[in-house]
Amino acid sequence: MIIITTPVHPIIFDSLSEKGLQFKHLPNANYNELLEQITEATGLIVATQITIDKRMIDSATNLKWIGRLGSGMEHIDVVYANSKNIRCVSSPEGNRTAVAEHALGLLLCLMRNISKSNNEVKKRIWLREENRGIELNGKTVGIIGFGNTGSAFARLLSAFNVTVLAHDKYKQGFGNEYIIESTVEAITQRADVISFHLPLTNETKHIANDAFFKKLQKKPYIINTSRGSIIDTKKLREAIENDSIKGAALDVLENEKLSSYSEIENDDFNFLSSSENVLLTPHIGGYSFEASFQLSNVLLKKIEPFLK
């Protein structure tokens, strides 16, 4: 039995059915509901709605593999799963183009005041000089994290005559005629734009902290389409208040359950949402119709060996 706890493209249902495999689709299940049924699962397809921790894994006595629809494995205790001979795979290749396009769209929207001026014109406010924008052409863009989405973002930027400074602690040898392998230190000193494309780990949480923002030399734009906790929200707010950055575009937040906010979280969110140089979108970077198919298709190919 394969349990699927997230919305997926029908190609997954069709493929499993063609192979004569039984599956349950439980897209609205919570942790306890999955825990009650996990013992019958030999395979599990998940996103981020449910944490697959040691308790869940210990209860999954027949589980052979876990397929993560998308990128980022922070909701799965991969080390413990592997210790139980449970294979874990993800499908970050499936939505890298969607995330890269969204990052580029956010950046252009910020630099050219597109969202701000759109809102003004709809209120019959016609301000041209006040919305004079900044061109991306000729700028230096820092990319922190050069995996699937970071490299896809760099490919899109190649059309804009920019210098790309890319840093990845765990990759080398990816530089070319327009990508310079760099350090975070160099990016904070030279970049006009800094875009984060990192998984969330103990190492990367709050990598954009007080020390990071204090090192910035050129008042860059900050883009985050990876995970909200990569950036310390309070320190981002201070950087905006101190005029240390020109603006920020966030597709992700530290806490994306807006109804659960504390008074402090509400105060920070209200500040960001009322700032004209801040763009917020609801974690839709990887949510394109094309990505829906690609994520499922990539995952199917990766779990194919487990299904035989």
pLDDT digits (tens, 9 = 90+) for 47-101: 888 999 999 999 999 999 999 998 888 899 999 999 999 999 999 999 999 999 9
Cα gap 269→249, rounded to integer Å: 13
Q: How many CB atoms lie within 10 A of CB 270?
A: 11
Beta bridge partner(s), residue 25? 4
Instruction: Report how far residue 68's alpha carbon sits from residue 79's, in angstroms, rounded to the nearest whole number.
Output: 15
Active-site hit among 112, 190, 206, 283: 283
pTM score of the predicted model: 0.91
Residues of each domain in the chain carrying CATH 3.40.50.720: 2-90, 95-280
Name the CATH code of domain 2-90 (choices 3.40.50.720, 3.40.50.970, 3.40.50.150, 3.40.50.300). 3.40.50.720
The matching CATH number, chosen from 2.60.260.20, 3.40.50.720, 3.40.50.970, 3.30.365.10, for 95-280 is 3.40.50.720
Catalytic residue among 256, 276, 290, 304: 256
Based on the residue annotation, tell me whether 33 is a catalytic residue of this protein.
no
pLDDT, position 64: 96
Q: What is the pLDDT of residues 117-172, one digit of tens each?
A: 999 999 999 999 999 999 999 999 999 999 999 999 999 999 999 999 999 999 99
Complete DSSP assignment for 229-273: GGB-HHHHHHHHHTT-SSEEEES--S---GGG--HHHHHHHHHHH
CA 257 vs. chain centroid, Å, equals: 16
d(CA 154, CA 223): 13
Percent of the chain having pLDDT more than 90? 94
Of the residues 9, 68, 167, 227, only one is catalytic, namely: 227
State mean pLDDT over 183-206.
96
What element of type H or E holds 291? Answer: helix 289-307
Concerning whether 101 is annotated as a catalytic residue, the answer is: no
Q: 10 Å Cβ neighbour count for 300? A: 20
Residue 177: predicted pLDDT: 83
283 is catalytic: yes
